[in-house]
Structure 1
C-alpha cells in the first residue's frame, strides 16, 4: 500500500472512530428524568425510624396514584418509574437520599420527605440542582421561603397548609371553646413543633388568652410525668401539644393518669392509627387536632380515594395518605401541562397551578408555592375521629 493511500485509510478509520465515540456519548447523556419510555420520579420517604408510619403510608398513597396513571398508559405514552429510598427519619439521610436521586438516578422531580425538619434539609439542594421537590406534608413556613433572605425556594412546593395557619386555627378554636389560659408543650428538637407553638401563642394571646407556661420535652423520653406534674399545677383550660403521634400518645396517657382533665389541642402530627394504640381510646376524649381532611367527607373525590386505598391496603387512609396522593397527582398534572419531563418545565408548571381539584380540597398555589386551602378541626370520641368544625382558608 502506498503512503498516500495508507494516510487516506487511516483518516477514514479515525473519522469512523470519532463518530462512534460521539454516538456513544449521546446515548449516555440522557436528559434528567428520561430512561427510554419511562419518566423517572424520586421518592424520599421516612420508611424507618421515628415517623416510619408516616413515610410508609405516604409512599403507599403516592404509589397508588402512580400505578393508576401507569395502568391507563402513563404520561403522554411514557410510564412512570419511581426510584425510592428510605431516609430513616433523619435529616442527614434525607439530604443523602435526594443527592443520590438527583445526581446518580437523574430523576425529573422528587416527592418527599414527610416531616418539616427532613424537608428543610433538602430545600437548598433542590434549588442548587434545579430539580423540583414536592413535600406533601411539611408544614413549616421556612420550607418554601428562606427565613433569612425572604426569598422563595424556587424548586420547592407542597400540598399541605402552613403551620402559621394551623397554629392560628388551633388558638381560635381554643378561644371559641371558652379557654382563658393555656399551657404549650413542644418537642424541643423539632422545628415543626416549636414553630406551631410560636404561632399558637401569638394568636392565643392576641385573642385575649394567657399562656401560663411553656414547656419543652424530649420526644425520645418515655416518662413525662415530671413535666406534666408542673403542668397540672398551672390548672390550664387547654394544653396545646403540637407534636407527632408517638410522644403525643404517651403524654396524653400519662396526663390522664395524673388526673389532668384539661382539653388537649394538637396538630396534624397526631393523625396516625398508632395514636389510639399508644394513648388508649378513653384517654383521648376531650382531645382535638387540626387536620387536612377527613375520610368521612362525602365529596365523591374523597370517597373514591378512600375506596381505592382501602381496597389496596386494607385500612382507612389518614390525612398524610391523602396529602401524598395529592402530591403525586399534582406532580403528574404538572408534567402533563408542561408536556415534558424536564425539571425546569415541571417547575414552571407547578408554579402556575390554579384551582387544582385535590382530595384534601381544591387549591391554588400562591406566590410562595403554598396551597390556599381550608382546615378541619377533628375531635376524638373514644378514639374515633369526627369532624368538629371547618375553618376557611386564609
Structure 2
C-alpha cells in the first residue's frame, strides 16, 4: 500500500515538472529566454597620428619617383625610374585592387631641384610614398619637407653617410643604396692593396655625396698606411679644371679619386691628360660616373680609369631576369647602376602598404602614414634583387656589395659589357 502511494506521488511530481517546463517554453515577450546576438560594431577607419591616406573605390594608389631625369646626370635617374616602372609591371600595375599611379618629378641632382620637387610632392594629399632621390644633396633638403608632410621616401641611390647619421637622420627617410662608409673603404683598399699606390689625391664637387665619399676614401687610405697629398674641390659647372689639376700634380700623387658627376667628371678626366706630372697617374671615380654619358663626355681619356660601384655580379638570382625585362621594355641594357635598388625600393614600399592598409566595407582603402613608415623600418630579410635587405633604425636597408670596374673602351655602343669590366674583388 505504501509502495503504491509513493509511486503515485512520484508520477504527480514528474507531471508538474514537465508542465512547468512546457509553460516556460511558451512564455511570451518580456519573459526570460535566450540572450539575443549582439550587433556587430560599426566600422571605424584607422586612426594615425600623422595622417591616413583615403583611397576610394576606383581611385589609384599614388607613388612618386623623385629622381634626376634631365640634364647631364639624367642617366642616373632615368635608370632608376625604369627600375620603378618594371617593379610596377611585376605587380601587375595594381595593388590591393587599386591601379598604381606613378608621378615623375625631376630633382636636378642639386639642392634647388630637391627643394622644388619636395614642395610639389608634399602638397599632394593622395601621395602615399616616394622612391627617391637620386643625389644625396637633393635628399638633404627634401627629407625634412616630406617628413613634415607625414610621407615617407626610400632612396635607391643616395649614398652619403650624413643621411643616416643618427644625429642628422630624418624619420621619413630610408634607402636601399649602400652607405659610402662601405664604398669609400673598398675604393681605398683597392687603391692601396691592389694597385699598390701609396700617395693619393682627392677631388670633390661640393655636393654632399662627393665630399663625404672623398673624405671616407682619404680616411681609409691613411688607415692603410697611404698618404693623402691633396684634397681639392671643383664646382659642378666648372669647365676649366687645369688649375686644380696643376696644384695636385705638384704633390706627385699616384692616384686621383674623384667621386663626382658626369659634367665635371668629363672635364677632369680629359684635362688630366694635359697636365705635366700626371701622365702616369691613375684615375678613379665612383658610381656617380657609372654611365655611358660619362664615358662619352670623357672620351678616350676614360679608358683605363676605374670606378667604384655596386657589384651587379653579386646581385640575386632574379637580377638577370630583370635585365632581360629592362632590355625588352626599353631597347637597351641598364644605363647606370641603381636600377635594381629602385626596383627593390618599390617592392619594399608595396609590401609595407599591403601590411598596413585597411579596407572599409564600401571598398575604401585606408593607409595610415605612421604605420607605413614603421612597416618599412621593420623590413627584415627582404629578398631583393640587390640582396637580403634589412632596415636599421636610421634607414639603412642595403645589403652592400661594392666592386671596382675598369673602363676598357670609349665605344658606348657596347655598354656596359664591352665598356666596363669588373676587376676587384
TM-score scaled by length of structure 1: 0.83
User: Which position in structure 1 is the counterpart of 2:190?
Assistant: 173
For residue 209 of structure 1, what is the aligned residue in structure 2? 226
CA contact (8 A) 2:263 2:294 kept: yes
Counterpart position of 1:36: 57
Aligned with residue 355 of structure 1, among 348, 358, 381? 381
Residues 1:325 and 2:325 aligned together: no
State how far apart, in whole Å, the 2-side matches of 1:360 and 1:319 are.
11
Q: Report the 3-state secondary structure (helix = DSSP H, G, I; strand = E; otherwise coil) of the residue aligned with 1:199.
A: helix
Compute the displacement of 1:252 (Å): 1.1
State the shift of 1:126 in Å. 2.5
> Taking structure 1 as reference, are residues 212 and 88 closer, same or farther at Cα in structure 2, changes over 3 Å only?
closer
Report deviation, 1:35. 4.9
Q: Deviations over 1:219-246 (max 9, x none)?
A: 2122212222222232211111111122
Aligned-pair CA distance for 1:300: 3.1
Write out per-residue CA displacement over residues 315-343 of structure 1, whole angstroms, 9 at most, x where no aligned residue.
21131222222221221122223345332
**Inter-CA distance 353–299: structure 2 relative to 1 (3 Å threshold):** closer
Q: Alignment partner for residue 62 of structure 1, among 84, 92, 108?
A: 84
Select the residue among 263, 266, 284 that pairs with 2:282. 263
Residue in structure 2 matched with residue 377 of structure 1 by the alignment: 404
| Equivalent in the alignment of 2:392 | 366
Q: Is the 8 A contact 2:200 2:230 kept in 1?
A: yes
Secondary structure of the residue aligned to 1:121 is helix
Structure 1: where are the runs of 5+ without partners? 1-29
Q: For 2:380 and 2:319, how far apart are their aligned partners in 1? A: 19
User: Which residue is 1:25 aligned to?
Assistant: none
SS at 1:36 equivalent: coil
Change (3 A) 1:33 1:330: farther
Q: Distance in 2 between matches of 1:54 and 1:85?
A: 14
My pick for the range that moved more, 233-242 or 94-103, is 94-103
2:298 maps to which of 279, 293, 299: 279
Q: Render the CA deviation track for 1:119-170: whole Å, top value 9, x for unaligned.
A: 1101112222221111111111222336xxx164222110101112111211
Aligned partners of 1:293 and 1:342: how far apart in 2?
Answer: 36
Alpha-carbon distance in 1 for matches of 2:169, 2:140: 13
CA positional deviation for 1:298? 8.2
1:140 aligns with 2:166: no
- The match for 1:52 is 74
Alpha-carbon distance in structure 1 between the residues aligned to 2:260 and 2:108:
18
Which structure 2 segments of 5+ residues have no match?
A: 1-50, 359-366, 411-418
Give the match's secondary structure for 1:274.
helix
Compared CA separation, residues 158 and 298, structure 1 to 2 (3 A)? closer
Kept in 2: contact 1:114–1:136 (CA 8 A)? yes
CA distance in 1, matches of 2:81, 2:339: 8
Partner of 1:239: 256
Secondary structure, aligned partner of 1:40: strand
Identify the residue that residue 291 of structure 1 maps to in structure 2. Answer: 309
Deviation sequence 1:281-300 (CA, Å, 0-9, x none): x4223322221233x66853
* TM-score (structure 2 length as normaliser): 0.77
Counterparts of 1:85 and 1:35 in 2: how far apart (Å)?
25
Deviation at 1:266, TM superposition (A): 1.8
Moved more, 107-116 or 314-323: 314-323
Determine helix, strand or coil for the equivalent of 2:344: helix
Two-structure CA RMSD over aligned residues (Å): 2.2
Matched, 1:303 2:338: no
Residues 233-290 of structure 1, C-alpha deviation per residue, up to 9 Å, x if partnerless?
322111111111222122112212435321122211111111111112x422332222
Separation in 2, partners of 1:44, 1:211 = 36
Number of residue-to-residue matches in the alignment: 353
